[in-house]
Amino acid sequence: MTHELRVQAVSQVTDRQPLPSKVPQRLEALWATDVFTLSKMQASLPKDIYKSVKSTIQTGGKLDISIAGTVAAAMKDWAIAKGALYYAHVFYPMTNATAEKHDGFISVQSDGSVLTEFTGKVLVQGEPDGSSFPNGGLRSTFEARGYTAWDVTSPAYVMETDNGVTLCIPTVFISWTGEALDKKTPLLRSNAAMNKAATRLLKLLGHTEVAPVNSSCGAEQEYFLVDAHFAHSRPDMLLTGRTLFGKSAAKGQQFDDHYFGAIPDRVQVFMQDVEERMYRLGIPAKTRHNEVAPGQFELAPFFEAANVASDHQQLTMTLLKCTAKKHGFVCLLHEKPFAGINGSGKHVNWSVGNATQGNLLDPGDTPHANMQFLLFCGAVIRGVHKYGPLLRAVVATASNDHRLGANEAPPAIISVYLGSQLEQVFDQISKGETTSSAHAGVMELGVDTLPVFAKDPGDRNRTSPFAFTGNRFEFRAVGSNQSVSGPLVAMNTILTDSLTWIADKLEAKMAEGADLTTAINTVLKKVMDKHSAVVFGGNGYSEDWHKMAVEERGLVNLRTTADALPVLKADDIKELFERVGVLSAVELESRFEVYAEQYILAIDVEAKLMVTMAKTTIYPAAMRYHSELSTTIFNAKSIGIELSKESAEKVAMLIGTIMDKVSKLDGAMGKHDFSSIEEHMQYCAKTIRPMMDELRKDADALEGEVADDFWPLPTYQEMLFVK
């Protein structure tokens, strides 16, 4: 990109007016208009069929396949009335992305005419390619058959684009041999397993009426917006989602003036457009605001059932990206698109509950006396301590490695923050008696015109990767670009294991003659005696904690994806997933293979692109500038003026250093014979990534020396501050 084009791009951005804001409609008029909801089913289906579908959705009962034809006909009529000509089975392969297979509502007749057709068989089952998606060895290239199967618990919807309307049907994706090739199937299995374990424990506590227990999720989505004029002139941003080169601007986030600041007009119009589309799709967007870094924003929804929330989260990422294009932006979901400022995460707020007992992680006003809450919270503590490395593994990606452990995201050491009130209660449990819990109190502000209000009984801790926040746990280590399914599967699975363990212990104690209260106190004390090491309320960024966590508490610090992913191959993790019925050993092995390959490929693409950009973009520009400097110095000397050679010498030195590092990186990317995929990952983490960092350091220093009108790439100052 020449300087003239960069100046022109800045002018075009600053002169750009926001797209006109639409006249807002009432939320009630917008809500779920593009979703085939239960109320729409009730209006279009026979009463008995509607009751059957509703029962399956709300109670997890077995789907009656015989009703599929009637449901398909009603769904088709509704979609066609909305303008749909096509339908798509939507599924979620192991790439963190969303996949779709589109078909037309068309059936060609023998006389050459056509009918609009959508049968129950087509609704229930589709057949995309089962080998072209990453499958970790579950399918060979020549074994191509895979199936999508209708997930009735996640509602169908219509997706409107400039090219028309498509009926979208959420599905699972499985191989011809029955293994899960997707992220939805394990999530559904984990919810079913957790429901079984939770129901068993609730009945032991004396509940005779127990509705199905489900996990819930609310995922806070952080993202960056960059004007398309700049983003399209950055090969690194287009191909990798982040800047591989770029000198920090003089101003970054040090003034804290962007966080919760006034949202720029153009961005606010974009946000309103996104939210309108979300509301039409029944996605409960609640909160929007500026995030810490310049150019960074956040969107947060209300809680939903985990499976639906996961589907909605995938839709949210799609809507952010496609709506950004309409507004002249590129939406970046990479965890660290810009060096030197905060990256983006996706805090996953997770809880469990049902219609009869409510939120099972709600402590109430007297948590010390709320045995139901203490057992479920204790189960989480045990699960996180016992399987902390698993939680680290399910958020392990090449891009998330840029965040974890930095002062913008939790450490890679998985610990649990409870807050002062609950820490006090569980400390009492470990000593054998629960007697009290701190009261919330009120906030007196010292001004009569300001309200007196209740304050929470405990503070929040942004440095904790797994924090209790009132009536749920917040898993803060999830990456911005990740599917939330993996973390949800892990949390549901470890909770299932712990609830089963607790129920076993309670039954054993009561079989010995103990009453329920005594048995509960005994089991809770065992939990804290064995697992309290994972509870930490201090500064997770501090070196003291990192040392204490590993050396004194026995926690694990898995710093990179190369360190974390092999956890998925551990015998205890395989045994856990098989025992609870969420993933077989071969399905778990396939996930390790897929995620390891994605890690290697991500670094391979970045390293190759760095070499190409350095050779074909940065080097020629720097050489032209050095030639200009040298010529100016020579010409000045010829007329008796001595100019400093310092800048020219520094540029020459940096050019030489950069090209030497480019050559070494290029050579390091050559063919190698690795004995295992684990060895290949470690090579990427310990050899390639450090070489990339070193190359970038010198290239960014060079950017600080080269005249602005010679530098070929849009700068951080332009991308982050010109909106």
Locate tokens 């106190």: which residue?
521
Helix 516-531 and helix 485-511: axis angle, to 10°? 130
User: Tens of pLDDT along 213-246?
Assistant: 999 999 999 999 999 999 999 999 999 999 999 9
How far apart CA 245 and CA 51 sit, in angstroms, is 58
What is the predicted pLDDT for the residue at 463?
A: 87
Q: Are strands 214-227 and 304-305 parallel, antiparallel or unpaired?
A: antiparallel
Indicate the burial class of 430 (C-beta count within 10 angstroms; 0-12, 13-18, 19 or more). middle
- Rounded to the nearest integer, the mean pLDDT of the chain is 92
How far apart CA 492 and CA 380 sit, in angstroms, is 10
Instruction: Show Cβ contacts of residue 431 under 8 Å, excluding neighbours closer than 6 positions.
Output: none
Length of the chain as a residue count: 723
What is the predicted pLDDT for the residue at 654?
A: 97
Locate tokens 């006389």: which residue?
111
How far apart CA 46 and CA 52 sit, in angstroms, is 10
How far apart CA 239 and CA 236 sit, in angstroms, is 5
Single-letter amino acid, residue 591:
R
Phi and psi at 16, nearest 5°, equal: -70, 135
- Average pLDDT, integer, range 568-574: 97
How far apart CA 295 and CA 332 sit, in angstroms, is 10
Choice between 697 and 637, residue whose per-residue pLDDT is larger = 697
Q: Are strands 442-443 and 453-454 parallel, antiparallel or unpaired?
A: antiparallel
Indicate the burial class of 643 (C-beta count within 10 angstroms; 0-12, 13-18, 19 or more). middle
Residue 465 carries which DSSP code? Answer: S
What is the predicted pLDDT for the residue at 460?
A: 77
Locate all alpha helices (DSSP H) within 60-99, ordered by sequence: 68-81
Question: pTM of the full predicted structure?
Answer: 0.94
Instruction: Show Cβ contacts of residue 434 under 8 Å, excluding neighbours closer than 6 positions.
Output: 368, 369, 374, 425, 428, 521
CB neighbours (10 Å) of residue 35?
Answer: 19
User: Tens of pLDDT along 331-341?
Assistant: 999 999 999 99
Provide the pLDDT confidence category of residue 390 given band limits of 50, 70 and 90: very high
Element (DSSP H or E) covering residue 259: none
User: Tens of pLDDT along 157-209?
Assistant: 999 988 889 999 999 999 988 899 999 999 999 999 999 999 999 999 999 99
Locate all alpha helices (DSSP H) within 431-484, ordered by sequence: none
- Average pLDDT, integer, range 44-62: 91
What is the predicted pLDDT for the residue at 21?
A: 66
How far apart CA 285 and CA 513 sit, in angstroms, is 51
- Average pLDDT, integer, range 239-257: 94
CA proximity to 171, closest of 187, 190, 155, 151: 151
Choice between 592 and 454, residue whose per-residue pLDDT is larger = 592
What is the predicted pLDDT for the residue at 319?
A: 97
How far apart CA 713 and CA 710 sit, in angstroms, is 9
User: Tens of pLDDT along 544-558?
Assistant: 999 999 999 999 999
Instruction: Show Cβ contacts of residue 322 under 8 Å, excluding neighbours closer than 6 positions.
Output: 161
How far apart CA 183 and CA 188 sit, in angstroms, is 9
Provide the pLDDT confidence category of residue 482 given band limits of 50, 70 and 90: very high
